[in-house]
Amino acid sequence: MKIHSKMGGVLTLSALITFGSTFTMTSINAHAETVQQLEAEKASVDQKIQQLNDQIASLQKTLAVKSEEFNATTKKIGEINASIEETQKRIEERSTIISDRLVAYQNQDSVLDTYIEVIFSSDSIADLVDRVSSVKTIVDADQQLIAQHEADNKKLADQKEELKKVEEQQRVQFQQLQEQEAELDTIIAENKAESLRLKLEIADQKEKERLEAEQRQAEQEALALRQLQNTSFVANAQGQGTQNSANTESQGTNSTTETKAKTETKQKATESSKPVASGLSGAIAEAKKYIGMSYVYGGSSPSTGFDCSGLIYWSYKQAGISLPRSSGAQYLATTRISQSEATAGDLVFFSYGSGIAHVGIYLGNGQMLNAQNRGVKIESINAAWWKPYLVGFGRV
C-alpha cells in the first residue's frame, strides 16, 4: 500500500510504521533516561541529607555525654553539701557538750582538784581505786570528745575544699556545654538551609515556589547565626555591653548550691497550668515560678526542666511573646540597648569567648533571673561569677 504525501512523494505503509516505531522508542528511551537521572539525583540528595542528619546526631550524642557528666557532678555537689551539713551538725552538738564540760572543770578549778577531792573523800582503798578509775574514765572521754571535735573540724575544712573544686569543675562543664550547644544550634540551622537547597535541585516547579522562599529564610538565619558564632566578645572596662565588647559590670555570685525537693518541683510544674499575664511582666512572673528547679540541658518546659534559653522561650511564650529557642537566635531577634537603657523584661546575654552562650531575664537594679548550673535563680549581674562574660542587653 502506498500513501501520497502533500509534497508529492510516496510513502509506503511499512516505512511509516518503521518511522513511528523508531520515534516512539527514542521517546521512551529518553523518558527512561530522564527518570533514571532524576532517581539518581534524588538518591544522591537523600544521601547528602542523611549525612547532614548523621552529623547532627553525632554532635547531639557528644552533648548528651557532656550533659551526663554535668549531671553527675551536680549530684556529687549535692552529696558533698549533705555531708557538710552532717559534719556541721555533729560539730554544733559536740560544741555544746564540750562547753558544758569546760564549765564543770572551771568550777573544779582543775582536773587535779578533782583527783584530790576523790582521794580525801574515799572511805577505803577499794573505794579510792573505784573513784579514781571513774574520774579517769570521764577525763578520757572528754579528751576523746575533743579529739573527735578536732577531727570533724578538719574533715569540714577538707569537705569545703573539695566542694570548691567540684563546683569549679561543674562551672567549666556548664560553660563547655553551653558553648557546644550554641555551635550545635548553628550547625542545625546551616544543615537545614543546605537540606532545603538540595531538595530544590529535584523539586518540581510547584514545589520549587514553596521551597525557594523557605530556603532563602533558612539560609539568612544560618548565615546570621554563623557570623554571631564567629564573633569574638572581649571584656570592656567601661562596662558598656555592645557587640565585640563585653560589660565588666557583670554577673552572678558563686553562692551555695540551691537544692530542690522533688515534691516542690512537681508543685512548680502544677503551677504552670495557672493563667499567665500577658507582656513582659507576665513572662517574669512565669519564670519566677520555677526558681529552684535544676538546670537541664535541652529543657524548655516545666515537665523537663530548663536550660537558659529554654526558660526564656517557655516564659515569654506563655505570656504571648514569640521568641526563638536558642540563646544566639534570641540575641539576633532582640534590639541592642545599653545597660543604662535596660529595664525589667529585657534580656541579658553572655559569651565565654565567641558567640552567645548564655541568656537571662533582666529584672532591673543589676539583678537577673536565669537558668544556670546551680538551677533557676535570681542573682546579681555585677558579681564575679559573670563579670568577664557579659555581652550586652536586648529588648524584646
- C-alpha distance across the termini of the chain, in Å: 85
Please tell me which of 27-31, 202-206, 237-241, 276-280 the model is most confident about, judged by mean pLDDT: 202-206
Comparing C-alpha atoms, which of 232, 257, 297 is closest to residue 60? 297
pLDDT in tens, 197-209: 988 888 888 888 8
Residue 16 lies in a domain: no
pLDDT higher than 50, residue 221: yes
Looking at the structure, do residues 179 and 236 belong to the same domain, yes or no? Answer: no
- pLDDT computed for residue 379 by the predictor: 95
Looking at the structure, do residues 187 and 262 belong to the same domain, yes or no? Answer: no
Locate cell 553539701: which residue?
81
Residue 65 lies in a domain: yes
pLDDT higher than 60, residue 362: yes
Looking at the structure, do residues 237 and 359 belong to the same domain, yes or no? Answer: yes
Please identify, among 170, 195, 230, the residue that sits at the C-terminal boundary of a domain.
230
- Is the Cβ–Cβ distance between 321 and 396 less than 8 Å? yes
In the structure grid, which three cell numbers stand for residue 368, read together?
537577673
Please identify, among 169, 202, 230, the residue that sits at the C-terminal boundary of a domain.
230
Looking at the structure, do residues 105 and 123 belong to the same domain, yes or no? Answer: yes
* CA 360 – CA 365 distance, rounded (Å): 14
Q: How many domains does the chain have?
A: 2
Please identify, among 230, 256, 273, the residue that sits at the C-terminal boundary of a domain.
230
Residue 124 lies in a domain: yes
| Backbone angle region of 317, left / alpha / beta, with phi > 0 → left and psi within -120 to 50 → alpha | alpha
- pLDDT computed for residue 156 by the predictor: 92
Mean pLDDT computed over 171-182: 90
Residue 24 lies in a domain: no
* CA 179 – CA 173 distance, rounded (Å): 10
Looking at the structure, do residues 191 and 282 belong to the same domain, yes or no? Answer: no
- pLDDT computed for residue 125 by the predictor: 54
Q: What is the CA radius of gyration of the chain?
A: 37
Domain that holds residue 306: 232-395
Looking at the structure, do residues 158 and 222 belong to the same domain, yes or no? Answer: yes
In the structure grid, which three cell numbers stand for residue 383, read together?
558579681
For 14, 330, 331, the CA distances from 323, given in Å and listed in that order, are 73, 6, 10
Active site residues: 308, 358, 370
pLDDT higher than 60, residue 45: yes
pLDDT higher than 80, residue 139: no
* CA 32 – CA 44 distance, rounded (Å): 18
In the structure grid, which three cell numbers stand for residue 124, read together?
577505803
Residue 211 lies in a domain: yes
pLDDT band at 225 (very low <50, low <70, confident <90, very high): very high
- pLDDT computed for residue 255 by the predictor: 38
- Is the Cβ–Cβ distance between 276 and 282 less than 8 Å? yes
pLDDT band at 148 (very low <50, low <70, confident <90, very high): confident
- pLDDT computed for residue 40 by the predictor: 81
Looking at the structure, do residues 336 and 304 belong to the same domain, yes or no? Answer: yes
Residue 15 lies in a domain: no
pLDDT higher than 60, residue 66: yes
pLDDT band at 52 (very low <50, low <70, confident <90, very high): confident
- Is the Cβ–Cβ distance between 392 and 347 less than 8 Å? no
pLDDT band at 30 (very low <50, low <70, confident <90, very high): low
Looking at the structure, do residues 41 and 132 belong to the same domain, yes or no? Answer: yes
pLDDT band at 249 (very low <50, low <70, confident <90, very high): very low
Residue 22 lies in a domain: no
CATH of the domain at 93: 1.10.287
Looking at the structure, do residues 306 and 241 belong to the same domain, yes or no? Answer: yes
Looking at the structure, do residues 223 and 75 belong to the same domain, yes or no? Answer: yes
> Could you say which DSSP state residue 261 is in?
-
Locate cell 513582659: which residue?
280
Please give the backbone phi and psi of residue 31, each rounded to the nearest 5 degrees, phi first: -65, -40
* CA 129 – CA 102 distance, rounded (Å): 25
- Is the Cβ–Cβ distance between 312 and 321 less than 8 Å? no
The dihedral formed by the CA atoms of 374, 379, 380 and 384, expressed in degrees to the nearest 10: -10
Report the predicted TM-score, pTM, of the whole model to 2 decimal places.
0.70
Dihedral (CA of 26, 28, 31, 32) sign: negative
- pLDDT computed for residue 124 by the predictor: 53
- Is the Cβ–Cβ distance between 292 and 334 less than 8 Å? no
Looking at the structure, do residues 288 and 181 belong to the same domain, yes or no? Answer: no
Looking at the structure, do residues 136 and 241 belong to the same domain, yes or no? Answer: no
What does the mean pLDDT of the chain come to?
Answer: 78
Comparing C-alpha atoms, which of 394, 391, 343 is closest to residue 366? 343
pLDDT higher than 70, residue 371: yes
Residue 29 lies in a domain: no
- Is the Cβ–Cβ distance between 197 and 215 less than 8 Å? yes
- pLDDT computed for residue 7 by the predictor: 47
Locate cell 557546644: which residue?
180
CATH of the domain at 273: 3.90.1720.10
